[in-house]
């Protein structure tokens, strides 16, 4: 893939991110992002208006769910070669997009995941229970699927043809895990790269509450196990 000719669609799910979205969009390298799609879910704080003013294409998705927003963005993307997913709260740094794209453009990866745990980050950025849950899920994926990752971060990229082949369908936060599991099981190269991580602007929709974190964690762990046994039942060997 030649960098100059790679069409990159950046998909940003939002819900009331007026305090952050301007910074997120301003920091995206304009020479790399062919189009920016903000998928907004019922924001009432002016997020869509700010995003449109900053030049993003705003798509309304009234149905709740992180995966739903990502899938809607994917369906409206204009023939990309690579699709990037990024949160709208400025906890990830959009300026690090080249780090995420490099392995795909250089032909070393089909899917890249930004790991927030490979570099030092402030405790405020990733609370202990979130970091622990991520390590636990990553450990389970390592054990069952043989994929060496440390984090299930939201900042990630994938070849568009790979995403189409995987036919993702999870509509909640399980979507991020589904991409990894289906990717590995289908034999695609999933590569982790280190990214920085900062305290988000505004309150988290999931990790802001212990109940939300535990619920999300349990759902994700059970999804990892469920996909593994479904694959085993189908009689296919585990990828090495």
Domain, as residue range, for 119? 3-233
**104-141 tens-digit pLDDT:** 999 999 999 999 877 655 556 777 777 888 889 999 99
* 120 within some domain: yes
Count of domains for the chain: 1
pLDDT > 70? residue 168: yes
Q: Is the residue at 239 inside a domain?
A: no
pTM of the predicted model as reported, rounded to 2 decimal places: 0.90
- 197 lies in some domain: yes
E strand intervals along 66-166: 82-85, 111-115, 156-159
The pLDDT, as a whole number, for residue 235 is: 66
What is the average pLDDT across 194-219?
75
CB 14 within 8 A of CB 88: yes
Neighbours of 203 (CB within 10 A): 10
Residue 25 lies in a domain: yes
For residues 66 and 62, give the distance between their C-alpha atoms in angstroms, rounded to a whole number: 12
Looking up residue 168, the CATH number of its domain turns out to be 3.90.550.10
Task: Look at residue 238 and tell me if it is in a domain.
Answer: no
* 45: in domain: yes
């Amino acid at each position: 893939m030649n960098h100059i000719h790679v069409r990159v669609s950046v998909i940003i799910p939002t819900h009331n991110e007026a305090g952050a979205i301007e910074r997120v969009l301003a920091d995206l390298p304009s020479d790399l992002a062919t189009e920016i799609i903000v998928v907004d879910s019922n924001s009432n704080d002016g997020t869509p208006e700010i995003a449109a003013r900053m030049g993003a294409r705003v798509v309304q998705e009234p149905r709740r769910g992180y995966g739903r927003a990502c899938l809607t963005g994917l369906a409206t993307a204009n023939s990309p070669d690579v699709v990037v997913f990024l949160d709208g709260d400025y906890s990830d740094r959009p300026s690090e997009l080249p780090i995420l794209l490099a392995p795909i453009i250089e032909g070393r990866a089909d899917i890249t995941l930004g790991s927030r745990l490979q570099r030092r980050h402030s405790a405020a950025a990733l609370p202990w229970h979130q970091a622990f849950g991520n390590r636990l899920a990553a450990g389970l994926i390592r054990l069952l699927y043989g994929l060496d990752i440390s984090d299930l971060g939201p900042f990630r990229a994938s070849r568009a043809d790979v995403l189409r082949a995987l036919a993702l369908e999870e509509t909640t936060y399980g979507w991020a895990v589904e991409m990894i599991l289906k990717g590995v099981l289908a034999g695609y190269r999933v590569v982790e790269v280190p990214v920085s991580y900062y305290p988000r602007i505004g309150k988290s929709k999931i990790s802001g509450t212990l109940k939300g974190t535990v619920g999300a964690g349990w759902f994700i762990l059970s999804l990892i196990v469920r996909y593994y046994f479904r694959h085993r039942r189908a009689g296919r060997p585990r990828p090495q």
